[in-house]
Structure 1
Amino acid sequence: MTGFDAYAHAERILTALGAPAGPGSPADPAGGPPQPTTLPPASGVRLHEPAAGPADATDALLAGVWSALARPGALATNFRLVESGRQIDRSRWMRSRVGDGEVLHTALVPVYLHSAVERGATLVISHLEALDEHVMLLCEALEYQLHARAWINCYITAGDTSAFDVHSDDHDALILQLLGRKRWQVDTRVGARSRDLAPDSLDRILEPGMCLSVPRGTAHCVSGTGELTVHLTVGYEPYADLRDETRAAGELLGTPAPEPDPAWMAARLAMRPDRRAGASLRNALTGEVDESTRIRWASRFPPHVRTTDDGLVVTTMGRRIRLDHRLAATIALLSRGGALTWPELVDRSDLPAADLRTFIRFGARNDFLICEG
């Protein structure tokens, strides 16, 4: 798991599922490779089957699944066991008790759980990003690159039937297959909510490393292949709910609302107070930054950066912060959303290490940077 780079993995997924980047495709503003001209969900129902190569990312995410299952004290609401479309009562397969004051202790009951999964039930872990750091970093990276609110659920089964009938979801989704094989049938008519899939629907067996894009409102059916299988579903809402707010305002005024400009929506997202999970207390109080320190932007959505004659105006988590224009390249690196170690930041930034250290401490104390490790 040591080599897992969540930002790079998210970038590979989105590039693979988006429209192919041609010679005229825009380059990444931070100097990265050309980007796809269309990202999910606009690219529709798309399947990516990667060429053979290292499986570090898949292994790291799968390890996160097993870690979440073994973690005592996780919220009971993070787990569901579904069989034939119905949820099995938690008292059968989960034990909970209150101890140590008001602390709720939960633990899975392996015997019942194993039996249920073997006969075709599906174990669902909701918001896996809250239970494992690797999954959390991937979720954050996807949010920054898609300008979206995202969450990650996990599905584990060992049967050859489906716990869910043909259905559609009210959010866009990316499917990441981690273990075993699973059959996906997806109506290629985006927005089709029919209970009967179209004859030319996508019908594929997903294997580890493969990923699939399923736009919201698209009918699909998922079934096992008789072997242990694990996949992640990244649910996401592009630009959070800004589009819905704009439409609702138009309806209230009785006038049709035009599609909001993406640049305007990105700036509005920067006004949201939502913060990533993470703390900078030790670094903020001591100012210590060493080779193990990992630094990332603290807001859940990308900051909005504007250049003025006096320097930079950075809008993040609803606040405007004025910074020296010499910080432009460093902020461009951090505002991509990935976590950088102190040596990586020193190597890629154009600031002297002493000035960079001062900026990192300022960012930690003012809660727009997260410094951990």
Structure 2
Amino acid sequence: MTGFDAFAHAQTLLAGLGDHEPPAGGVRLHEPAADGTTAHDALLDGVWSALARPGALATNFRLVESGRQVDRSRWMRSRVGDGEVLHTALVPAYLHSAVERGATLVISHLEALDERVMLLCEALEYLLRARAWVNCYITAGENSAFDVHSDDHDALILQLLGRKHWEVDSRVGARSRDLAPDSLDRVLTPGMCLSVPRDTAHRVSGTGELTVHLTVGYEPFADVREETRAAHALVGRTAPDPDPEWLTTRLALRPDRRAGASLRSALTGEVGSGTRIRWASRYPPYVTTGDEHLTVTTMGRRIRLDRRLEHTITLLTRGGALTYDELVAGSDLPDADLRALVAFGARNDFLICEG
């Protein structure tokens, strides 16, 4: 990971908001310590990288001015190159003028365009047990391209560059066009993180300077809850609120996988001291222990392992990436057994080994 440890940064953000579960109980704000992380610099580099990426889809970008989308033909050039590869390029002169007037450039699904953002998105998904995505907003005017509005999903706001003025209704679930008198009214600066619950009215405006922020939208246990409600509706019953352990088990049965490849290690069985190893599933696995075996349910599969691997499996399923040397330092396995486990995990695709 270039620039910062994405998983550690995700943990810091959620801890700053109050806990490691989906933020609840209203609007929350995290202000980093004065000597805190500069992770936002690495994420900002990811934004600039995405803007210059030739293979990005035109649908990843929107320019919104006075509440209306500007026709892409004015600010974007697209062509099909050799091998029918789509190349897109933004027109700097038009974008500069539009952004200065108060237009907002929106990059949708930024996690698909930059690895740094992708790893942060994956980390938040793992910790929140949520389907997540990342949009980016770039503007320089004082007025907002969007009026008071609310979203149908929870969101984390990460300020990366400049200052942005946020007003968020104190009444969670209120869709009123008039914000309550005691609503949050703050100017966010780089490094700050704001939690906005779903269906909560908010207004965003610039401060007359170039500003960039990320919005991480997420839906905790969304698919599982929808499946449960639909199943109960079919038999004419009201769906009870499932407990967290049941939800975690259901997510472990889903096939969702993180981005990344371990083909090299799977083919050769080799890992180096700096090889980065992380759990492959998008959501945490469900692990049960017996007298002699572990049963790990992950990505819809049940894997039976020797009970002696329990400590090492616990290290790997925390969700962050570990180099092989870090895994050696934390594991209680002999080197030969640890290498065999990593090779087995790569071949059976429950571990991602890169580098």
> What interval of TM-score do these two structures reach, taking the shorter chain for normalisation?
over 0.9
Asked if residue 345 in structure 1 is aligned to residue 327 in structure 2, the reply is yes
Q: 1:303 touches 1:335 (CA, 8 Å); kept in 2?
A: yes
The CA deviation at 1:108 is 1.0
Asked if residue 197 in structure 1 is aligned to residue 179 in structure 2, the reply is yes
User: Partner of 1:334 in structure 2?
Assistant: 316
User: Partner of 2:65 in structure 1?
Assistant: 83
Deviations along 1:120-163, one digit per CA (max 9) or x if unpaired, are 11111111111111111111111111111111111111110101
Distance 1:41 1:49 in 2: 15
Matches within 5 A, 1:260-275: 260-275=242-257
Q: Which range moved further: 140-149 or 252-261?
A: 252-261
Distance 1:154 1:353 in 2: 44
Q: 1:297 touches 1:370 (CA, 8 Å); kept in 2?
A: yes
Q: For 1:120, which of 74, 86, 102 is the aligned residue?
A: 102
Amino acid at match of 1:297: W
Q: 1:191 touches 1:217 (CA, 8 Å); kept in 2?
A: yes
User: Partner of 1:13 in structure 2?
Assistant: 13
In structure 2, the gaps of 5 or more residues are none
User: Partner of 1:143 in structure 2?
Assistant: 125
Distance 1:224 1:40 in 2: 28
User: Partner of 2:212 in structure 1?
Assistant: 230
Distance 2:175 2:265 in 1: 51
The CA deviation at 1:305 is 0.8
User: Partner of 1:30 in structure 2?
Assistant: none
Q: 2:164 touches 2:206 (CA, 8 Å); kept in 1?
A: yes
Q: 1:363 touches 1:369 (CA, 8 Å); kept in 2?
A: yes
Q: For 1:210, which of 192, 203, 207 is the aligned residue?
A: 192
Asked if residue 68 in structure 1 is aligned to residue 50 in structure 2, the reply is yes
Distance 2:21 2:292 in 1: 35
Q: For 2:153, which of 150, 171, 175 is the aligned residue?
A: 171
User: Partner of 1:182 in structure 2?
Assistant: 164
3-state SS of 1:265 partner:
helix
User: Partner of 1:21 in structure 2?
Assistant: none
Distance 2:340 2:21 in 1: 37
Distance 2:167 2:194 in 1: 11
User: Partner of 2:23 in structure 1?
Assistant: 41
3-state SS of 1:241 partner:
helix
Q: 1:17 touches 1:43 (CA, 8 Å); kept in 2?
A: no
The CA deviation at 1:347 is 1.0
How does the TM-score come out when normalised to structure 2? 0.97
Amino acid at match of 1:231: H
Q: Which range moved further: 179-188 or 191-200?
A: 191-200
Q: 1:40 touches 1:213 (CA, 8 Å); kept in 2?
A: no
Q: 2:38 touches 2:191 (CA, 8 Å); kept in 1?
A: no
Distance 1:73 1:274 in 2: 25
Distance 1:308 1:44 in 2: 41
User: Partner of 1:106 in structure 2?
Assistant: 88
Deviations along 1:214-272, one digit per CA (max 9) or x if unpaired, are 01111111111000001111100101321222223233322222100110010000111
3-state SS of 2:194 partner:
strand
Q: 1:182 touches 1:224 (CA, 8 Å); kept in 2?
A: yes
Q: 1:140 touches 1:337 (CA, 8 Å); kept in 2?
A: no
Asked if residue 320 in structure 1 is aligned to residue 302 in structure 2, the reply is yes
User: Matched residue pairs, number?
Assistant: 355
Amino acid at match of 1:90: R
Q: 1:144 touches 1:336 (CA, 8 Å); kept in 2?
A: no
Distance 2:159 2:317 in 1: 29
Distance 2:273 2:222 in 1: 35
User: Partner of 1:33 in structure 2?
Assistant: none
Distance 1:263 1:357 in 2: 32
Deviations along 1:106-127, one digit per CA (max 9) or x if unpaired, are 1111111111111111111111
Distance 2:252 2:55 in 1: 34
Distance 1:328 1:345 in 2: 13
Asked if residue 159 in structure 1 is aligned to residue 141 in structure 2, the reply is yes
Distance 1:341 1:246 in 2: 39
In structure 1, the gaps of 5 or more residues are 19-35
Distance 1:312 1:136 in 2: 31
Amino acid at match of 2:93: V
Q: 2:17 touches 2:23 (CA, 8 Å); kept in 1?
A: no
Distance 1:232 1:102 in 2: 31
Return closer, same or farther for 1:70/1:335 CA change in 2, 3 Å cut-off. Answer: same
Identity rate of aligned residues, in percent?
80
Q: CA RMSD in A?
A: 1.3
Asked if residue 130 in structure 1 is aligned to residue 95 in structure 2, the reply is no
Distance 2:92 2:274 in 1: 37
